[in-house]
Each structure stands twice: as C-alpha cells, then as structure tokens.
Amino acid sequence: MVVDTNKENLCINKLIATKKEIIMLEGDVIVPDSKPDILSTICTSGVACIYRKEVLEEKVKIDGNINTYIMYLADDEKDRVRGINTNLDFSENINIKGAKEGMDCKICVKTKSIETKVINGRKVSLKASLELDIKVYSREEMEIINKVQNCEDLQVLEKSMKVNSLIGTGETKIYAKDTLSIDNIDNLAEILKFSVQICDKDIKVSYNKILTKAEAEVKIMYLTEDNRINSVNGKIPIVGFIDIPNVSEENISEVEYEIKNLIVKPNSNEEHSIYVEMEVGVFATVYEEKQINLIEDLYSPSEVINFNKKQITTITDMQNRKEMNKVVEKVKVENLENRNILDVDITPVINNQNKFNSKIMYEGELEIRFIISNAELQVDTRMVNVPFQYELNSLEDGENLNADLNIDIKNKDFVIQDEGNVTVNADMEMESNLYRNANLNILDEIQTAGERDEQDYNIVIYIVKKGDTLWNIAKRFGSTVDDIVRTNGIEDPDKIQVGQKIYIPKYFRAMQKVNYA
C-alpha cells in the first residue's frame, strides 16, 4: 500500500559542469594602405567579446571576437608611433560532459596574452590566448517529502536545513554609448590603445523586476595629427531592467555582465571627441533561502517498506562579500629615468588558494605594464609583477566553501622616485560569491509490502565498525535508535566509537497494527 506523505516544491539550479579552457587565436593583420610600414610593435591590447553561446549535446558552442589595438613604431621618420585596429574572430566547440540542449550557460572570458610578430613591413602575425571559465546549469523542478502520515511504526531519518531554491533567471541586452571629449587643441589622428572594464555593479529589486546598474570604465590612448600622444578616460552608465516574477528584496541575486559587441571611432558629428558604443548582455539568477524538512531515509522494524531513492546536489549558504585589499609596494622599473608614464595597465592574477576552517587565503600578483616615452616621443613598455596576499576571514567550515573571487582595481597611483623606483598604490575590491554544495537524499513512491520476517533473537551484541551510525545499525537489525540508546545508556546518539560494544534489543511491535493510508 502507498504510504501517505506531505510534499513541498523545490527548484534546483543544478550545476552540471564547470570547465576552464584556454583557446588560442591566430591571424595575420595587413597594414592599411593609408598607414606607414611597421618597423616593430610596441604593445598590443585587446577586448574579448562573446556575441553568441549555445549549449548543445555534450558541448558548448561559442562565437566571438577579440577587438585588438596594435601600437607600433613606424618605418617613417615623420610618424614615430602609429596604431592599427582589427578584429580577430573565433568559433569554438568546447566539450562539456553532461551538457544538453536547452541548459543555461555562464561564461567569463579573460584575455591572458596577446603577442605580435612582424612578418614584413605590411604584415603582422597576431596570437592571442583567451581563458574561458564555463559553467553549465540545469533547472529542475521537484517535490520533496517532508512528512510521513501514520508513522507510529515507521522509523524516520529527518534533516532540517536551509537551501537556496531557484526563483527564476532572466537576461537583457543593454546598449551603452557615450561620446568622450578630448582636449580642444587635439586633432585626433587615430586610436592607439583601448581598454574597458565593468565596475561599480549594483542591483535594486522592486515590482518583479531587477534594476541592474554598472559602469563601463573606458581608457583610450590616441595620437594627434601633430604627432603627440594623449589619453582620455571616462565612465559609461550601464542601466537596464530584467523581469523575473515573484522576486523580492529578501532574495539573493547574482548578476553577470558580458560585452558582446564594441564600436570605438572618432565622432563624425563632433570634433575633438571619440564615440564609444557597446552591447552588454546582463544575466540574472535569483534564489530564495528556504527552510526545508527533508526525510532522508526510513524503515519499519515490522513491515517491509519499499521506496525509490535518488541523490541530488543543490546549493546552500549563498552570500556575497565585498572587501577592500590595499597593495603598497616599491618596485624597480628598468630605464625609467627621464621618461614619462603615458599609461599603466594592471591585471590581477590569483596563483594559489588555500582553504581552512575559518578562512580562505589567496596568493597572487599584479601584472603591471608601464607604457613610457622620452623627450623625443619614443614609446616603449616595461613589465613588473607585484605580489599580494588576501585573506577572506570569519568563515564557518571554510574548507567546504566554494568561492568565486572577482577583483576590480578601484584606485591606483604611481609615484616615480629616483633611480627608476616606483611606489605602487592599488586599491583592490575583492568580491566573493560564496556557497556550499549540499547533497540531498530524495525519497519517492513509499509503499508497504507485507510484514517483515520476525527476528529469532532477543538481543545481539555488535562491535561498531568504521562508517557505522546508530541509524544504519538499527535499520540493519530491525531495531530502533531509541531502543539501542536506552539499552546501552548512550548519551549522544551521534557519537559512537569504532570498536565499541553495543547491545541491540529485539523490537516488539505494539498489539495494534499500524494502518497505512
């Protein structure tokens, strides 16, 4: 007969797979006829864009490009420094075990390195390395049993816990654009270098909507027609709404940004300005913290009980933490005397992560590229690495925490001293998305199948083995945890020792037969 149960709904955003993949891009760049020959390259920068992604059977298909700017030394006495802008397209199929069509996918892309090699005065070989951090999710709606009716003779193993149940997901596209003004005395010749990062992220929840707010921090280095190098910085607002029914301020929201397309060009309608436009994909996932009472196992000492059992993995203890980590370090930069710093690129890299019970320790370095020039406007680069450490403290059971760390450089300052020494001051915003994986035993289709064979003993002496619990011992011998605890005078049922001698009494059923509905 079917056992009467109560159930509640739970929505699982199941992490199917996570994978980090390095892809290599190669291509040749032809110098336009309007530009002089290349003598040597100075530096190359690039912004990676993913304009399409699709989860297929056992793989993820990704299409995108890397928008690159090559600053080079011209083989021309008049034009010392010039620039080339080009797009390097890519299409990749990444094998992901367990992926199926229709699943959700999150991708974080980082430009690891860009290298150039001059083939001849009119051609440059370009090689780029991109790091893809891919996560594939499957949304599963399920019912879990939280109560069994008429359980006088049933032994029930219950667990009360908090889980993060998925409310919904949503996405939108935002077209962020602005015109950045340059100095009025500058007549723009061409763009030499471009970089952008999404920063100052914030969300507001109201009326079944999520308001996402962020800024695209843009840096542009450009060449003027009178052969001077200058730069302009700006922040472009990224604001949009994502509709997700039943969302409230108490929920936990995760929002991710992807740059899909990028346009950077001199403004044709306004002198002394540069037009920037980007298409940004914004993806939101919303959870509610839900207290559930889960029945993980059951049996009857007198009845045969059959049921289906499966294990699912969900997430719990989600939290977001932001902290500032300051780095102050004096570094030696070779041949910096009598030179000006035109621009500085900082890339934070995590090299090592160690988890402890109450903290997570990170070791990394800031990869710093100085772009410098002398009085004759000869441009060159210098690379230095500055080590840093960061501790995420006040954790509970930190060894079993999953931590996704994102680092934004909020402020940076460089003080040039004598003999090529530079004091680096950098404020890093460390944003940690923390969660645990929770394995749940889900029971279904509970039925009785007649009386259990009566045991032919009154008491059994059992020696505890590794991995034993009172629950498993009682279930194996058709006794109950309460009877074993009472017979042996056990103070804490959760603490038994390997080698411990335990007396297991025979279970005597009450005279009145339990009636299962």
Cβ atoms of 6 and 150 within 8 Å: the answer is no
Q: Does one domain contain both 353 and 393? A: yes
Instruction: For residues 93 and 132, give the distance between their C-alpha atoms in angstroms, rounded to a whole number.
Output: 12
Domain limit, last residue, from 78, 111, 141: 141
pLDDT tens track for 224-257: 998 889 999 999 999 999 999 999 888 999 999 9
Asked whether residue 254 is assigned to any structural domain, the reply reads no
- Res. 271 pLDDT band, cuts 50 70 90: confident
Chain-centroid distance of CA 338 in Å reads 43
Q: Does one domain contain both 37 and 135? A: yes
Cβ atoms of 300 and 388 within 8 Å: the answer is no
State whether residue 27 is helix, strand or coil.
Answer: strand
Kindly state the tokens that stand for 110: 């980082």
The pLDDT of residue 512 is above 80: no
The pLDDT of residue 479 is above 50: yes
Sign of the dihedral through C-alpha 497, 503, 506, 510: negative
Q: Does one domain contain both 511 and 396? A: no
Q: What share of the chain is helix, strand, coil (3-state, %, to 5)?
A: 5, 70, 25
The residue type at 493: P
pLDDT of residue 517: 36
Q: Does one domain contain both 431 and 468? A: no
Instruction: For residues 59 and 412, give the distance between their C-alpha atoms in angstroms, rounded to a whole number.
Output: 40
The mean pLDDT value of the chain amounts to 90
What are the CA-CA distances from residue 103 to residues 92, 139, 252, 439, 450 (Å)?
18, 8, 21, 21, 43
Residue 79 sits at φ, ψ, to 5 deg, of: -100, 95
The residue type at 293: N
Question: Helical H runs in 174-278?
Answer: none
Q: Does one domain contain both 374 and 471? A: no
Strand order in the sheet with 303-332: 303-332, 421-451, 402-416
Instruction: For residues 334 and 337, give the distance between their C-alpha atoms in angstroms, rounded to a whole number.
Output: 8
Helix axes 470-477, 481-488, angle to 10 degrees: 110
Per DSSP, the residues of 50-117 read EEEEEEETTEEEEEEEEEEEEEEEESSSS--EEEEEEEEEEEEEEE-TT--TT-EEEEEEEEEEEEEE
CATH code, domain carrying 467: 3.10.350.10
Instruction: For residues 24 and 113, give the distance between their C-alpha atoms in angstroms, rounded to a whole number.
Output: 10
Asked whether residue 388 is assigned to any structural domain, the reply reads yes
State whether residue 122 is helix, strand or coil.
Answer: coil
Q: What percent of the chain has pLDDT over 90?
A: 64
Q: Which of 108, 130, 197 is nearest to 429 (CA)?
A: 197
Beta strands in 149-208 (DSSP E): 155-181, 188-206
Asked whether residue 88 is assigned to any structural domain, the reply reads yes
Chain-centroid distance of CA 146 in Å reads 32
Q: What is the mean pLDDT of residues 193-199?
A: 93
Q: Does one domain contain both 363 and 427? A: yes
Domain limit, last residue, from 375, 402, 436: 436
Cβ atoms of 416 and 422 within 8 Å: the answer is yes
Q: Does one domain contain both 428 and 468? A: no
What are the CA-CA distances from residue 197 to residues 137, 214, 280 (Å)?
26, 10, 12
Specify the number of domains making up the chain.
3
Asked whether residue 506 is assigned to any structural domain, the reply reads yes
The pLDDT of residue 200 is above 70: yes
Asked whether residue 376 is assigned to any structural domain, the reply reads yes
pLDDT tens track for 273-299: 999 999 999 999 999 999 999 898 998
Q: Does one domain contain both 432 and 472? A: no
Domain limit, last residue, from 97, 122, 141: 141
Strand order in the sheet with 379-392: 340-355, 360-373, 379-392
Q: Which residues of 29-41 are buried (b: 16+ CB within 10 A; e: fewer)?
A: bebeeebbebeeb
Q: Which domain holds residue 76?
A: 16-141
The radius of gyration of the chain from alpha carbons, rounded to an integer in Å, stands at 31
Check residue 493 and report its DSSP letter: T
Instruction: For residues 211 and 481, give the distance between their C-alpha atoms in angstroms, rounded to a whole number.
Output: 52
pLDDT of residue 506: 84
Q: Does one domain contain both 52 and 137? A: yes
pLDDT tens track for 339-394: 888 899 999 999 999 999 999 999 999 999 999 888 777 888 999 999 999 999 99
Kindly state the tokens that stand for 138: 């499957």
Q: Does one domain contain both 475 and 395? A: no
Window from 54-63, 123-132, 412-421, 452-461 with minimum mean pLDDT: 452-461
Q: Does one domain contain both 59 and 120? A: yes
Asked whether residue 243 is assigned to any structural domain, the reply reads no
pTM of the model: 0.85
Sign of the dihedral through C-alpha 73, 74, 76, 79: negative
Asked whether residue 306 is assigned to any structural domain, the reply reads no
Asked whether residue 26 is assigned to any structural domain, the reply reads yes
State whether residue 44 is helix, strand or coil.
Answer: strand
pLDDT of residue 514: 40
Burial zone of 327 (CB within 10 Å; 0-12 exposed, 13-18 middle, 19+ buried): buried
Q: Does one domain contain both 101 and 21? A: yes
The residues near 34 (Cβ < 8 Å, ≥ 6 apart) are none
Cβ atoms of 94 and 88 within 8 Å: the answer is no
The pLDDT of residue 513 is above 50: no
State whether residue 3 is helix, strand or coil.
Answer: coil
pLDDT tens track for 408-462: 998 899 888 877 788 999 999 999 999 998 888 888 888 888 887 776 667 889 9
The pLDDT of residue 330 is above 60: yes
